[in-house]
A and B are shown apart, each in its own frame.
Chain A
Amino acid sequence: MTGTASPAIHISGAAALQDETRSPVPSTQREGLTVSMLINGQPYQFNIDSRTSLLDLLRDHAGLTGTKKGCDHGQCGACTVLTDGRRTLSCMSFAAMNDGWEITTIEGLSSADGDLHPMQQAFIDHDAFQCGYCTPGQILSAVACVEEGHAESDADIREYMSGNLCRCAAYPNIVAAVKQARNEMEKA
């Protein structure tokens, strides 16, 4: 039998299907790509492989490892960042698509003098994490959730925070944290 292996991205199915996932242009002919963006208020410029995801760009090229990789498939929410203020799964976005955009990562949420954003403080107050790995994504999602006006009721918060998995299952504490921060963000 001749078949393909199961490499990085698993495609369950025939070998032909996997062949389609192969890059049509051999990488020997690939050119680097230049992208610029404003990350946490700082201008950055990168020369990257055109296939680089925004997540890998942040972690491996910008050194901002606060943004986490939990699946690389848009299924867990750990990689959530704000792009021009909207929550985005950075693993599902090519870096090149964000050329010229403003990106906020967890590192940019607290003020330069170390004051925490009300959402960050609320996560501490309500023990809204255990291992902390999903937390940067949860916090950015929660900030957007409040700003979108989707944090009015517990049921809304649960629904609109359901794109962020927490395997430690801090969910009830996350809901409590979002409520506290919502009240403070609305006051501010």
Chain B
Amino acid sequence: MTTSEAAPLPRENMGQPLARVDGRLKVMGRANYPADIPVNNLAHGLLVASGIARGRVQELHLDEAHAVKGVLDILTHDHIRGELEPPEFGTSGSSSIGPLHDDKIWHDGQIIALVIAETIEAAREAAMRITVDYKEEQPSTSFGSEGTETVAASEVSQQFKEDVKAGDFETAFDAAEVKIDVEYGMPTHHHNPIEMFSTTAYWQGEELTVHEPTQNVYGWKVEIARQLKIEPDRVRVISPYIGGAFGSKGPITPRTAIVALAARRLGRPVRCVVTRSQSFTTQTYRAETRHHIQMAAARDGRITAFKHEGWEVTSRPDPYVVGGTKTTGRLYNYGSVLTKVFLVKTDRPTPSYMRAPAETPYIYALENAMDEMAVALNMDPVEFRRVNDASQDAIEGKPFSSRSLMQCYDEAASEFGWSKRNPQVGSMRDGDWLIGMGCATAVHPANVAPCAVRITLRDDGHARVQTASHEIGTGVQTVAAQLAAEHLGLHPSMVQVEMGDTRLPPAPVTGGSSTTASVCSAIIKACEEIREKLARAAVTANDGPLAGRDPASVLLKNGRLVAADASQALKDVFKHVGSGVIEQYTEFRPDGASPDAVSNLYQGKMEMVSGEKGDMIKYAFGAEFVEVRIHRRTREIRVPRVVGAFSGGRIMNTRTARSQLMGGMIWGISSALHEATEFDWRSARVVNRDLQDYLVPVNADIQDVKVILVPETDTHVNLAGVKGLGELGNVGTAAAIASAVHHATGKRIRELPIRIDNLLG
């Protein structure tokens, strides 16, 4: 192995930077993503999407399309009605909007037909030849559009039952000496993983197989079966490698069951690849949000009052809540807290989760306000956070299970050189470039969910770990191999990992940064059960070097069962077991989960124990520092440096951890300066529905990104001691950049993204 910044030396409570176990397959082009799986006699499906955002389909003219050579079938609402159960909002379902269930159009780009043909080319031509008569109604696009409906989230949501509050905000705010009253906005975002969304479905008799990139094979299996009105046991969902997800592949799509139905009608396999432009309207997205923050503090910097109101776009029928006030309300020692979340119903698809769904927008608003407050107090922004650091949460007074926030600030500040920052706005320059520096807190709840795993250990020292979790790029397969190897006393190359298939033991949705915690906890438990079995066999044997020992005192190491002064090779220990193999099936149920949590997992119903549940608040923390450079004349904005320090409990692998956090911070840069889904406000249609106009950073946009892993041990979060890092990195970055832009220019841009035109004049 070379010395590389990619492989940081482990500090306390951190695992080795083992290179990815799937790396070789991936660099050779041999990792099969779902649309790569070869299938015989494949027919190609192509969606046809609505050209209006609200109204009805009066007539679809299909004759020309049917006449195209190679067209096999065209499904419209006439064919679906009664054949499928409509989708439901919640759990694995993203939306109750069932395209093709009737003629109603709820949003732009809704699926109105599925063309199946012998070739992609024929399907494309046929789709082009379909024309539609619509009965169009005036849609509502977003906040401020005519015809929207605003409701309190807590009154309509099953998941978000109350707005957190504490103390008497009004009195404290009125009495305070220094106060701010500000509004922020974050636009709609689309995940845009580089892998295109796709469904491949085929039937073998009564059995359905679906190849589709998903973060939730079990949940989908159950939901697909429900929609098709068949038993879940007849559905298999396979998703071995996923080409990026970020939340977009968690909720079931409105397309999947329709493609399965098409395959059944035709009696042959169908693959439907969603075009990039269609993915902007047939997949989920990050809801657009508006924030109103009022904050007050005493002259010494102690916050006495904090109010956070949020408005979130959702669809007409479904109350999806982002609800980040549950985190912002708990982050600092506020004195008093008042929060309220509202949903604004529009003619848009139902939004859903996207990388740190709650924290990305809500912490963006809070951390901006923290910077504005520090400026109002004439305090250093880091010191302002230190003064308001908390040992217990502001809402319920529960202690944090661990909180290394200020350690993160101190390590990142020192690496960044924060002490060299001149706080005076516009004071730092390098030639024509104005320099700005800003910082912000990153935070994400440490979530964990039930998980089952099967571990097979053979007497020749080979092991296999099987669980229906998902490799979306986080490195979970690598971490699973590494951890099982460590606990079974093997080299990681002896451990094979299988994931992403409903034939494997169930694992939760890969979301909420809960995967490493959940999968690793299950692996640790299973490995301990294997060790116990082997130990018991060795110590109760009539002879052998370990006979008569205390079973708790022997460990698995280097292919042997080892006591203080004696050991036995695995092969020989297995002789006492009377078999060449141990197959251990283990279910892990986290503390705080309901008694039915594991059996629910088999039913595709996931129960995540979130960081706020229980006697303690369990959060991962970080601190991010950025330097921006803004050209004096052109106002071009560059980000030459970002430093983030993060504490996430046990770090399983410093290499994959660093990469996730680095990717997260670049996502943060993207949300600050690049991405936004733009709408034509008259028609509620997406304007920039491709990768040319929906901006994401390219290589040239990114320069130095430094990740510091801050040691932390937390035995309260879960068996593995892991807090999860996938979503932590992109929380806070945008606020740090907005603060740095203010430091450089004196302009406080509160609506993202910050673009050149915001800084002109």
Contacts and interface: CB of A to CB of B under 8 A. Distances in A.
Given A72-B275, A78-B194, A123-B27, A22 B129 contact: yes
Given A66-B29, A132-B473, A73 B193 contact: no
A10 interface: yes
A162 B697 CA distance: 9
A68 B275 contact: no
Interface in A156-180: 157-159, 161-176, 180
A42 interface: no
A106 interface: yes
Contact of A169 (B128, B700, B702): B702
B121 A49 contact: yes
Contacts of A1: 52, 133-136
Nearest to B130: A5
A149 interface: no
Contact of A133 (B50, B133, B194): B194
A176 B135 CA distance: 56
A74 B701 CA distance: 19
A10 B49 CA distance: 9
B472 A131 contact: yes
Given A126-B6, A165-B696, A172-B702, A133 B33 contact: yes
Interface stretch (B140-148, B549-557, B654-662): B654-662
Interface string B98-117: 00000000000100110000
B124 interface: yes
B586 interface: no
B145 to A, nearest CB: 20
A76 B691 contact: yes
A70 B49 contact: no
Interface in B69-91: 69-70
Given A3-B52, A73-B692, A176 B134 contact: no
A180 B656 contact: no
Contacts of A106: 27-29
Contacts of A153: none
B28 A68 contact: no
Nearest to A59: B36
B20 A68 contact: no
Contact of A134 (B136, B194, B667, B702): B194
Interface in B403-420: none
Contacts of B703: 158, 172
B699 interface: yes
Contacts of B474: 130
B243 A132 contact: yes
Given A69-B273, A169-B663, A131 B195 contact: yes
A151 interface: no
A123 B194 CA distance: 18
Tell which of A51, A105, A168 has the most Cβ of chain B within 10 Å: A168
B183 interface: no
A123 B660 CA distance: 16
A163 B52 CA distance: 33
A179 to B, nearest CB: 11
A5 B113 contact: yes
Contacts of A169: 662-663, 666-667, 670, 697, 702
Contacts of B130: 4-5, 7
A166 B701 CA distance: 12
Contacts, number: 279
A175 to B, nearest CB: 7
Contacts of A52: 119, 121
A166 to B, nearest CB: 7
A73 B48 contact: no
Chain A binding surface SS class: loop
A65 interface: yes
Interface residues of A, number: 83
A176 B4 contact: yes
A99 interface: no
A167 B192 contact: yes
Nearest to B59: A2
Given A5-B50, A7-B130, A131-B472, A173 B659 contact: yes
Contacts of B658: 127
B700 A158 contact: yes
A88 interface: no
Given A116-B28, A168-B244, A158 B691 contact: no
Contacts of A56: 120-121
Interface in A129-150: 129-136, 139
A171 B666 contact: yes
Contact of B277 (A10, A63, A136, A168): A10
A95 to B, nearest CB: 11
A124 B24 contact: yes
Given A125-B1, A158-B699, A131 B243 contact: yes
A185 B656 CA distance: 27
Contacts of A7: 46, 48-49, 124, 127-128, 130
A49 B294 CA distance: 63
A187 interface: no
Contact of A76 (B24, B38, B46, B194): B194
A107 B28 contact: yes
Nearest to A69: B196
Given A1-B133, A157-B699, 12 more contacts: A1-B135, A6-B51, A68-B194, A70-B195, A125-B4, A129-B27, A132-B241, A162-B699, A167-B696, A172-B662, A176-B5, A176-B6
Interface of A: 1-10, 12, 15, 18, 21-23, 26-28, 30, 49, 51-52, 56, 59-60, 63-73, 75-76, 78, 105-107, 109-110, 116, 120-121, 123-136, 139, 157-159, 161-176, 180
29 contacts: A1-B133, A1-B136, A3-B134, A5-B113, A7-B48, A18-B128, A22-B125, A22-B129, A27-B69, A27-B70, A52-B119, A56-B121, A73-B276, A73-B690, A75-B691, A116-B24, A125-B4, A127-B19, A130-B474, A130-B475, A130-B660, A132-B31, A132-B241, A133-B33, A161-B699, A167-B244, A169-B666, A171-B699, A172-B702
8 nearest interchain CB pairs? Answer: A66-B29, A133-B243, A131-B473, A132-B26, A130-B473, A106-B29, A169-B666, A7-B127
